[in-house]
Structure 1
Amino acid sequence: MNHYSTDSVNGFYNFLTRGLDDLDRSSSDSFMSIHFLQCVLSSLRSFHLQLTVLVQRLHLPVGEKWLDEYMDESSRLWEACQVLKTGVSSLENFFMSGVNLSSSLNDNTVASPVFFRQIIRLINASQREVSGREDENRNLMETRIQPLSLRFDDNISMGSKFNAFNGFRGVLYAMRNVSSLLLMILFNGLVYFSPQTTFFSNCNEDRDQVVFGSSGFMVSATRLHRKVVAEMEKNGVDQTTGMILCEFKRAREAMGEMREGIERMMEYGMEIDELDEKIEKMKCCFGLLKCGVENIVIQLDDFFDEIVDGRKKLLDICTNR
């Protein structure tokens, strides 16, 4: 994402608007893919970084409530990202089992029934573990995310009540609203999606007139919100539950096809060469999933460092004045 000037409150709002517009365009490439979700996380990090920069330039009074409000919001962001990392990391056993199975099938030179029965047992065990992980991730959403009240309000107008602290209160509210939208996209893509427990069913097409009379960033945020809703419906995701990450779904399907291929081969006496295409597909799918999840975790670890650094900078500013 390009870094636009955020020397002023209006500059920060323009920065949010451009960043959200970039996400809106990228969402069409591959919905709920690692690439799109990495863009969402990068945007969240970039917005947070520029918020910290703006606060330093507003010369806010020491000892006022603005610092407590900033600390509360950064703590909420920290907690949400901790849960996000826990949910994403739960995929590690799954993608490692897929990578190991692909290697075993590639390396095996003796196609014995004993070997293939062992592979089928391992695939079944992996699929059962995934179902258990999805239940754990659903519990994470219900017990640790819902209390954080990640709700996107598509009907706000930045009025006079947000002018406190040189406009910082409005900036912080905007950041909270936008970060809630981006975090819920990340949770629904990487951790667990359920139509009953997300904000995506709350999109109101009748609010155009109100919203479009509001701030530019809200127009962009609402457009992105509705784009995600539309993609959910287009892909039939709005009727499902569980992990909806594209690379995860493809890897799971490839593993299922591998099991079916082995079962048919054992039943009809086909040669192992006929499985080569399925083996290669599984290897590719799990390789992409592994690389993508590891990159997301690295991004989250970097974000934790940035949150800590931002809190320290603002505390130092207040202490040293």
Structure 2
Amino acid sequence: MSHAAGIDLGGTKIEVQVFDADWRVIGRNRVPTPANYDALIAALAGQVQWADDMAGGVVPVGIGAAGLLNPATGRVLSANLAASGQPLPRDIAAAVGREITFLNDARAMALSEAVFGVGRGLGRVASVILGTGIGGGVVLDGVLLHGPTLTGGEFGHIAAPAHLVARHGLPILPCGCGRAGCIESFIAGPGLARLAHALTGEALDPRDISARRRGDMAPVWALWCDLTAELLHMLTLTLDPDLIVLGGGLSRIGGVIDDLSAASARAQFGDFRATPLASAEGGDSSGARGAAYAAWQAQAGRAHV
């Protein structure tokens, strides 16, 4: 197998990683994310060229980006990149003179964790990023599942559970997606802060709440776990995965797997078991590795057409 490269495209940095035949990182290069579109295209083209130079030839390149691609228009929706409304994949391909694989960064992490990480060897793996936003993906037998809208995995935009919203008098909040009442409003990082304010009146950031979750913030933490468990239960009911992998900043809070596992057991029917949970193990290489693997899969598929 030849080398492949993955680019982690975020709101503050663009990092390319080049992988060898055993999917080990053999080189990486990071540049700041430009604030205007033309400079963004130039920076991405430069990272592709850096990857080719590092690998000693043209390699398949995947980009895992903080945004969604609309397959009907070819344009990107992103709150964190100077590319929203722009045909980013098409313009990158034009700049580098070849096709580049483009996917959402949460989906890239899902693929990496299913193939190389904590989900390796399992048939059906779902992942959820618990960070500033909520997203994820589903991988079946090493292949990332996607459909005609490319919105599968936007788990944060299902409705928050009505029984918990009503019981605790939570507000129905507008969401950046254009809808209202999305569960992301309560379980993403800013959502945890909203829960604390709704229940206690205090303005706290997630770090403060985490530090006090065994003390006076225990009710806030318990509600966050119950809300998050409802999302995980939805994944069990619709996908019945072998494992749900958790990533993102909130997933690194000490004891979160145990707390969410207990909440998930309460959310499940009767004495049926809840889907096992695990923390992502790929670290800062996970998204880029998933994007690189998707690009390698795409190239292998084209070679057999």
TM-score, normalization by structure 2: 0.25
Q: TM-score, normalised by structure 1?
A: 0.24
Give the structure with the larger helix fraction: 1
Which protein, 1 or 2, shows the higher relative CO under an 8 Å CA cutoff with sep ≥ 6?
A: 1
Greater strand share, structure number: 2
Larger radius of gyration: 1
